[in-house]
Amino acid sequence: MSPLPWFPGKRALAAAALASAVVVTTAQPAAAAPRIVIDTDFPDPDVLAVDGTYYAYATNSGDDNVQVASAGAVDGTWERQGDALPQLGDWARSGLTWAPDVSERPDGSYLLYYTARDTASDRQCIGTAVSDSPAGPFAPVGDGPLVCPAEAGGAIDAASFTDTDGSTYLLYKNDGNAVGADTWLYLQRVSADGLTLEGDPVRLLKQDRPEEGGLIEAPTLVARGGSYVLLYSAGFYGDGSYFTGYATAPALTGPYTKSDTPLLTTEETGIPGPGGQDVVGDGTDDWLVFHGVLSEEPLVRGMYVAPLHWAGDVPSVG
């Protein structure tokens, strides 16, 4: 893969996989630079705040389909809680459960979107599960995946979004790079309980720059500064070419315009491959949560946090 133009190419990381314990840190004032809070494999983090407790969910690792950890503060001590999704839907096979997203539903229960391998199409597809607790266990819902465009490579990287009028949406990426096709970030309206698709999906953004390495993925949507801000990751997730970019739009469905410069790169942060991001907060005291590569062989990606600031609709970290 070609290196990004704004930093040297792939870094050979000498670090081996770190010990299985979560980093033990005490809550402290926000640092200017991103810092690691989980130093073991915890990729594609998604964070939800519930009654003063933060829950982080991550791509499968070891025997856990959906990793979950909790903390009293975003930058505080994180402790693992086990497998949030011990049983996949009957349509899926284990081992490829990626990029979970958890949100609270109007009735106080919790909805999990997860990506897994659909046995019928042999593509990654998005399924649903529900729980009365943010820590799980979540129980799969439905006889099949919610989103599964097999002809477009499948679907991955689900993300929930609630607009200012209370309407709810699902964002995802068609896994086009798996079949030599474009990778689009889609927006799809869903029912209030998150289990039913409504209307047609809308294409928001696709890969169109050389440094993106043929794909964009991991959508995160927020409303800030009178605009919609769509964060995304691009490049190869397993090395220093991975980075976090963003685009802005005056309306929910676009058009979205990519920033001239990315939000996070290996060169600027010193963290190899910063991506798979999530935004925690309401625009007042936001945090950016993301993973970085700790080791390439074996691939280990830890969880980092950093204060996220806004100048209108323009984000900055640190």
* Predicted TM-score of the model (pTM): 0.90
Q: With H, G, I as helix, E, B as strand and everything else as coil, classify residue 116.
A: strand
| Structural contact between residues 84 and 55, judged by C-beta atoms closer than 8 angstroms | no
- Within-domain flag for 30: no
What is the DSSP track for 144-170?
A: S-SB--GGGTBEEEEEEEE-TTS-EEE
**Strand ordering across the sheet containing 92-104:** 92-104, 110-118, 123-131, 139-141
- Within-domain flag for 224: yes
Q: Which residues of 159-172 are buried (b: 16+ CB within 10 A; e: fewer)?
A: bbbeeeeeebbbbb
Q: What is the pLDDT of residue 185?
A: 99
Beta strands in 214-318 (DSSP E): 216-224, 227-234, 243-249, 257-258, 275-280, 286-296, 299-311, 314-317
pLDDT per position as a tens digit, 124-163: 999 999 999 999 999 999 999 999 999 999 999 999 999 9
| Structural contact between residues 145 and 126, judged by C-beta atoms closer than 8 angstroms | yes
Q: What is the pLDDT of residue 8?
A: 33
Q: What is the pLDDT of residue 33?
A: 86
Q: State the total domains in the chain.
A: 1
- Within-domain flag for 61: no
- Within-domain flag for 243: yes
CATH number, domain containing residue 191 = 2.115.10.20
DSSP 8-state symbol, 235: S
- Within-domain flag for 93: no
- Within-domain flag for 185: yes
pLDDT per position as a tens digit, 89-106: 999 999 999 999 999 999
User: Token match 């086990």: residue?
Assistant: 82
What percent of the chain lies above the pLDDT cut of 70? 90
What range defines the domain where residue 287 resides? 105-129+141-317
Residue-averaged pLDDT of the chain:
91
Token pair recorded at residue 139: 């129980």
